[in-house]
Structure 1
Amino acid sequence: MTGPEEVRCTLMRGGTSKGAYFLAGDLPSDPAARDDLLLRVMGSPDPRQIDGLGGGHPLTSKVAVVSGSDDPGADVDYLFLQVAVDRPEVTDRQNCGNILAGVGPFAVERGLVPAGDTETSVRIRMLNTGERAVATFPTPGGRVDHTGTAGISGVPGTAAPVVIEFPQGAGPLLPTGNARDTVAGTEVTCVDNGMPVVLIPAAALGVTGYETPRDLEEDVALADRLREIRLAAGRLMGIGDVEGATVPKLTLLAPPRDGGAVTTRTFIPVRCHTSIGVLGAASVAAGLRVPGGVGEGIARLPGAGERTRVEHPTGFLEVDVRVDPGSDGIPAVVRRTAVVRTARKIFDGTVFPRSAATAPPPAQRPGGHHDSAAR
């Protein structure tokens, strides 16, 4: 570290999220000390995060910790940390595919991975889950170029494309073993293709699925139903007690309106996402292709080999997903998952955290580094 009150930091937009990226060696090795520092860096707990880098929303209060990997199958290790906005809590119980989009460029710019002459692929081990991803992005002349013509919904302007491919995971696509389960009196499909997600027909909860995130968040009766479903689904999916966790995510499904496969509203887990997470979208896209799932009769699936366009409140996210549906007792298996995202460096320099004397201690984190099935 450069000192107790200053830390080297890069602020990046990754996909539709924004976060602070750090080299692991620039942060305290003790998790409690690290979390205390990150709370002060982000300005938590405070609904506005007025005294730190956070933007007053879970999507802008994220952290990536990156280091060289000792795994022969990976170039770098990536630990995602969600910093709570209004409470003193830092958790590693889920992954983030949007922040993942910035990990490769960050690793090259910090000298962890050499750049290729035209493009670079970085093999990433996600420490939250132990799973892998490969991020490929342009590096003309051996330098990261954040500019480009790729656009993604929910982000103004364009930037360089980051193609992220996820190898087939070791866990089952359907954690409960069923295409449908009845949870808290509601038929759902529990799926995990990088993120534990519970798919729920919006109509089953008395909403259309086209409401704004704010309107859904203000629906108290809906919030109570969602909480009941999430707690029960967490146990059913083998995650355990998820009262203090951010997974599983809950995604409401409705027929598409803008030429996509399905319209979604995703809860993370209480706030309604203004778009959709990368890994959440990967799970939704795979879950729609499970025969007998709750997406049947709602989704309009594209043809074989075409990307699945998942509509969300601010546009859409396209996922190239190939699912072997299985048969005769053979479970469904995902053969390929890839997405195109963008990332952009906002600043690189030194961040000066709030004084430790004025910051409340961090809350007990729910679980250790590898305690969760969240992805």
Structure 2
Amino acid sequence: MGAPDAASAVRDGIRCMLMRGGTSKGAYFVATDLPSDPATRDDLLLRIMGSPDPRQIDGIGGAHPLTSKVAIVSPSTAEGIDVDYLFLQVGVDTATVGDAQTCGNLLAGIGPFAVERGLVPATGERTTVRIRLLNTGDIATAQFPTVDGRPEYDGDAVIDGVPGTASSIELEVGGGPDKPLLPTGSPTDDVDGNTVTLIDNGMPVVLLRAEDFGVAGTESPSALEDDAVLAERLERIRLEAGPRMGLGDVAEQTVPKLILLSPPRDGGAISTRAFIPARVHTAIGVLMAASVAAALRIPGAVGHDIAGPLAGEETAVEHPSGTFPSRVRVTRDADGTWRATSFSLRTARKLFDGTVFPRPRR
């Protein structure tokens, strides 16, 4: 079935699978089921998700950035890669569709979705899927259980921020040889008069000391979101950091993320509050955590001096709803360039599979 035109999409719908990936939720599509023209596609996705509307009452979005996400999957033409994954962040109360970032949480569902749609065959009791992240150029490997040729979602794995248990999905994400961990080459930079670390281990983030902004770093997400003075300071930093990280003008983008760091309280390595960028994450994104964990291993980087003990590659990253175990391997080239590969255990679950109907017009 090819991509529908506007009239038939409203009348006949579009094939869609809603999945929870990690601590996020999104609509998953095969690329050929959507228009190839980006502007036409984005308009359609806004009407599917119900944006712009803070409630997204006339669409399938969940009225929060963590539940207003889209994953588009297609067979890959790259050698040694099974599928390509394009992530789109759909605005909730704004008519925006951003592609400047990827999503490590929805990444957890890409492998199972590819098997569900017949893009990749299952291989026995465990299936491996190689994934190219089109937004960033990173390459991921996902391993997950399969039974009778289909993904197995039931299991005993637990991740903070998600109730219950599910089968484990092992993810490995690494940047290419031309992608340094520190975009400016320095462990710290001065941005708008603040000492920050600009780092990208799969997600471009700005790391800041919570105490520099008059907060403890233990506040609830809602309390931080209600602090207008803090929000203004952070946005100034974000707008200046974007070009320095090679992202250009980020005024209409959702990257870079900003993460306040403070000493650990619950036995972890560091405590975090992640701005994404206006709302505060109720947990932490997979690749945000990977960027934090990598920074803690770089002398002089923000957070390095307040981190708890780091044992091997595992880092317990504390967040508002628990702790995320982020495993990273950090190396330094002979010329001093820092690089990293991240490993994580996630879960995902198919919520529904069927046909979604966009509203006729915005």
TM over 0.5: yes
Amino acid in structure 1 at the alignment position of 2:357: F
Count the aligned residue pairs: 354
SS in 1 for 2:347: strand
SS of aligned partner of 1:158: coil
CA distance in 2, matches of 1:41, 1:188: 38
Q: Residue 269 of structure 2: which of 261, 266, 272 is its match?
A: 261
Which residue of 234, 239, 247 maps to 2:242? 234
The letter for the 1-side match of 2:246 is G
Q: 1:330, 1:351 → 2: CA distance? A: 50
Query: What is the match of residue 56 of structure 1?
Result: 63
Task: Name the residue aligned to 2:308.
Answer: 300
Q: Who is 2:338 aligned against?
A: 332
1:291 touches 1:325 (CA, 8 Å); kept in 2? no
Select the residue among 198, 209, 220 that pairs with 1:201: 209
Shift of 1:174: 0.9
- CA drift of 1:128 comes to 1.1
* SS of the residue 2:337 aligns to: coil
**Distance (Å, rounded) in 2 between the aligned partners of 1:158 and 1:286:** 28
Q: Tell me the equivalent position of 2:127.
A: 120
Identity %: 61
Q: CA deviation at 1:240?
A: 2.0
Instruction: Report the counterpart of residue 297 of structure 2 in structure 1.
Output: 289
RMSD: 1.3
Residue by residue over 1:16-43, the C-alpha shift from the partner in whole angstroms, topping out at 9 and shown as x without a partner, is 1000001111111111111111111101
The answer as to whether partners of 1:290 and 1:325 remain within 8 angstroms in 2 is no
For 1:92, the equivalent position in structure 2 comes to: 99
| Residue pairs, 1:305-324, within 5 angstroms | 305=313, 307-324=314-331
- Counterpart Cα distance in 2 of 1:281 and 1:210: 17
* Residues 1:13 and 2:20 aligned together: yes
Alignment partner, residue 244 of structure 1: 252
1:182 aligns with 2:190: yes
Deviations 1:227-259 (A, max 9, x none): 111111112222222111111110000111111
TM-score, with structure 1 as normaliser = 0.92
Cα distance in structure 1, aligned partners of 2:302 and 2:100: 27
Larger CA deviation: 94-103 vs 316-325: 316-325
1:139 alignment partner, SS class: strand
The residue identity in structure 1 corresponding to 2:102 is N
1:47 corresponding residue in structure 2: 54
Superposition deviation, residue 292 in structure 1: 0.9
- How many Å apart are 1:354 and its aligned residue? 0.9
SS state of the match for residue 148, structure 2?
A: helix
SS in 2 for 1:230: helix
Residue 192 of structure 1: how far off its partner (Å)? 0.8
Distance (Å, rounded) in 1 between the aligned partners of 2:357 and 2:248? 38
* Alignment-derived partner of residue 352 in structure 2: 347
Give structure 1 stretches of 5+ with no counterpart.
360-375
Structure 2 portions without partners, runs of 5+: none
Matched, 1:132 2:116: no
Distance of aligned partners of 1:331 and 1:88 in 2 relative to their CA distance in 1, 3 Å threshold: same
Query: How does the TM-score come out when normalised to structure 2?
Result: 0.95
- Check conservation: 1:19, 1:61, Cα contact below 8 A: yes
